[in-house]
């Protein structure tokens, strides 16, 4: 478990690295309620093989989950027509092969706690356990957290985030 202050400190450090390597993450800091602060990234991802490639727009949000005391990951992905992808479409985009039942126990679509509109959200129940075991071994909890979740989604995490000199 981490505090909201620890999350915000890690988020600031993460965004500093992002700025240095031009990775596109932004910190949206709420001065009045630290629990409403988050980091976000908008990007485009290619989907498909050969000549059948389409461009998708993705929005990634990492926010502090007050109930679990951990970073939470949420995202939305739209096709080129502007339609939000379905949960099954998102599962098929995953870097790792999972059956629907396993995937749906990890990622669900629900109302975002900060934005009050639908987002795909990675369930935070196991995040606390994983991060607690790694907390003393990590320089930045956001980098460690993303390293754990990126195989499930189309998000590339540059290796520069793990370098100490940045």
- What pTM does this model have? 0.89
Residue 26 backbone phi and psi in degrees, to 5: -125, 145
Tell me yes or no: is domain 4-157 CATH 3.30.1460: yes
Is 22 labeled as catalytic in the residue annotation? no
pLDDT (tens digit per residue) in 114-154:
999 999 998 887 677 666 666 666 778 888 888 877 777 77
DSSP assignment of 107-146 equals EEEEE-TTTSSEEEEE--TTHHHHHHHHGGG-S-HHHHHH
Angle at 106 between CA 101 and CA 112, to 5 degrees: 125
pLDDT (tens digit per residue) in 62-94:
999 998 888 999 999 999 899 999 988 888 887
Q: How far is CA 14 from CA 82, 109, 164, in A?
A: 29, 26, 12
Residue in 1, 125, 157, 163 annotated catalytic: 125
Determine how β-strand 26-28 pairs with β-strand 52-65.
unpaired
């Amino acid at each position: 478990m981490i505090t909201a202050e620890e999350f915000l400190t890690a988020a600031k450090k993460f965004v500093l690295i992002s700025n240095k390597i031009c990775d596109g993450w932004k910190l949206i800091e709420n001065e009045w309620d630290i629990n409403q602060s988050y980091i976000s990234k908008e990007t485009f991802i290619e989907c498909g093989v050969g000549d059948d490639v389409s461009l998708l727009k993705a929005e990634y949000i990492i926010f502090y989950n007050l109930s679990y005391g951990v970073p939470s990951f949420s995202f939305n992905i739209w096709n080129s027509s502007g339609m939000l992808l379905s949960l099954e479409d998102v599962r098929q985009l995953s870097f790792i092969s999972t059956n629907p039942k396993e995937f749906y126990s990890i990622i669900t679509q629900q109302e975002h706690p900060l934005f009050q509109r639908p987002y795909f959200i990675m369930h935070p129940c196991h995040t606390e356990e994983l991060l607690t075991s790694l907390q003393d071994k990590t320089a930045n909890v956001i980098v460690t957290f993303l390293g754990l979740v990126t195989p499930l989604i189309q998000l590339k995490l540059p290796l520069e985030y793990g370098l100490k000199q940045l």
